[in-house]
Amino acid sequence: MCAKDRSQNSVCSQTEFIQYLDDVFSISSSLSLIRDSQGELVHLSPLFETLLLKGSELKVWFSFIPLDVRLELFNAELNSLSGEGPYFSKNVKSMNQVLNIFIECIYVKGRKFTRWVFFPESNGFFHLHHEYDKASKIIDDIFYLRRKVDLQFWKVFNLYAFGFTNSKISSSTNLTEDQVKKTIKKIKAECFVSSSDCLALLTLYTLNYNRLAINVINILSNKC
């Protein structure tokens, strides 16, 4: 009886933990997976299973990635856990799919995990080159305070780029969820992005990811 109870508690705890991850990072709305520091799979998003695995097992899907590329990805994961990164790998091929893969370390309740986000190569972030140039300049200006924005916009911009959900952004600022949604809509329009994952990648491209992490820490610590 005790063993059964422990098992039930374990399942409940894991379910609650996954729900917590989804509440904070909205992991179910993207092609993503979460692994713990021992390399064990913690969560696989439904979109990943539907659009990429298509009925195959994850280990089978990974086996179709060329060995040298696979090793680079897992080395990137290890380096992320060691405090380096994040990492972005382009044109990764598996099962007739071409993907760009974003790998970063996240800390949740004192534990380390790696988040893998997958972008099909066919889904370009920017349709025109001048959009990328404009978006890059806007993001640089926001991070280096050359662009005049109010404090609440700046907070939402950083938290959204880091992957926080609307409800988490709302609870971390003095804004309602409706106000957060309106601000995010403005961010998407100005930065030519369709999601927080795209904004995070653009932040990585412009070499501002470390600055983003520092900003998020300051916001959550009420230092700004």
Number of H helices, E strands in the chain: 10, 5
Beta bridge partners of 108: 111
What CATH architecture is 2-120? 2-Layer Sandwich (3.30)
User: Which own/partner contact pairs does 166-173 have at CB distance under 8 Å and 24+ positions apart?
Assistant: 167/23, 168/23, 168/24, 172/219, 172/220, 173/219
Domain boundaries, the chain: 2-120, 129-220
Has residue 127 got a pLDDT over 80? no
pLDDT digits (tens, 9 = 90+) for 174-220: 899 999 999 999 999 988 888 887 888 788 777 787 788 888 888 88
Are 136 and 205 in contact, with CB atoms under 8 Å apart? yes
Has residue 5 got a pLDDT over 70? no
pTM reported for the whole predicted model:
0.59
End-to-end CA distance of the chain: 51
Better-predicted residue by pLDDT, 92 or 6? 92
- The answer to whether domain 2-120 and domain 129-220 are alike in fold is no
Q: Tell whether domain 129-220 is in CATH 1.10.10.
A: yes
pLDDT digits (tens, 9 = 90+) for 107-117: 877 888 898 98
Mean per-residue pLDDT of the chain: 80
